[in-house]
Amino acid sequence: MAAMRRDGADVGWSLVVPLKPLVRAKSRLSRAAGEEFRPRLALAFALDTVTAALACDDVRDVAVVTDDQLAGERLAALGARIVPDTPARGLNAALAHGASVVRARRPGAAVAALNADLPALRPAELELVLHSASLFPRAFLADAADIGTTLLTATSGVELEPAFGGASRARHLASGAREITGPEVPSVRRDVDTGEDLLAALALGVGPHTALQAPRPAPGAAAPEGSERLSPPQVRASGA
C-alpha cells in the first residue's frame, strides 16, 4: 500500500466499495447460477475485488459500505474498513456516505468508488487507471459494455458526485468527469451482472474466491446463442 511522502503528506487513494446484502446482490445472476450459488458468487466477487485493490501500490486503504454481517466479517479480515450503510438510500447515497467517512478521518484523501463485482481485477491494471485519474479532478472508467461505470475518482478536495446505475457512463460524462480511455485495462472494466459476463471474467482469469464458487458451462449442453446455462461448481481438493 502507499505510504507517506517525506513531507508527511498522505499519498495513495482511498477506495470506497459498495456491497448490497448478499441475499439481494447480483439478482441477474440467478438464471445462470441459481439462488443457492448467487449470494456465494456475490461474496466471492467482492473478496477478489478487495484483495486485488489492497494489493495495488496506489491504494492506501479500502472502505466497504455494507450492512451484510457475513460479508463485513470476511472483508474486514482482508484488511478493509467496514462502513455501515446508514443512509440506506441506495447505491449513490452509500458511496457518498463512504467517501465522507473516509474524509472525516483523512480530509485530504483522494477517493475512488469501485464496483464490488470485478472478480478478474488485477492490481497493475488498477494502478494504471488510478494514475490516469490522478491527472483530473474527477474521472471515471466505463464498463466493458461502454454503458455503465466501474470506477469513479475524485482528487483531494473534490466531491465524488457518484451517479452509478444503468447508463451511468453518460451521466458521469455530463457531470464533467473525464473519461479514462487510454490504458488497456480489461480486468478493471469487466464487471459481472449476467452469466455471459461471468464467462468473460473467467476467460480473463478470476481471483481464487470466484474460481472456487464459479459455475461452469453445463457439460454437453447445446445452449442457443446468448443462453446462460451453467452448472454448479466442481471443486477439486488441493493436491488432487
Sign of CA dihedral 88, 93, 95, 100: negative
Asked if residue 118 is part of any domain, the answer here is yes
Distance of CA 169 to the CA centre of its chain: 16
Q: How confident is the model at residue 31, as a pLDDT?
A: 83
* 35, three cell numbers: 439462488
Give 27 or 181, the one with higher predicted confidence: 181
Other CB atoms within 10 Å distance of the CB of residue 82: 17
Query: Per-residue pLDDT tens for 115-142?
Result: 999 999 999 999 999 999 999 999 999 9
Q: How confident is the model at residue 5, as a pLDDT?
A: 35
User: Above 90 in pLDDT, residue 87?
Assistant: yes
Sign of CA dihedral 109, 110, 115, 121: negative
Q: What letter would DSSP give residue 194?
A: S
Residue 152 DSSP SS3: strand
Asked if residue 196 is part of any domain, the answer here is no
Asked if residue 56 is part of any domain, the answer here is yes
Asked if residue 164 is part of any domain, the answer here is yes
- Nearest alpha-carbon partner for 86 in 103, 101, 75: 101
Asked if residue 179 is part of any domain, the answer here is yes
Number of domains into which the chain is organized: 1
Residue 26 belongs to a domain with what CATH number?
Answer: 3.90.550.10
User: In the Cβ-directed half-sphere of 121, how many Cα atoms lie within 13 Å?
Assistant: 31
Asked if residue 116 is part of any domain, the answer here is yes
User: Above 70 in pLDDT, residue 183?
Assistant: yes
Q: Which domain holds residue 39?
A: 13-189
Judge whether 17 and 47 are in contact, CB under 8 Å.
Answer: no
Which DSSP helix (H) or strand (E) runs through 171?
helix 168-174
Query: Per-residue pLDDT tens for 104-116?
Result: 999 999 999 999 9
Asked if residue 25 is part of any domain, the answer here is yes
- Nearest alpha-carbon partner for 230 in 151, 219, 28: 219
Asked if residue 114 is part of any domain, the answer here is yes
- Nearest alpha-carbon partner for 197 in 185, 187, 207, 184: 187
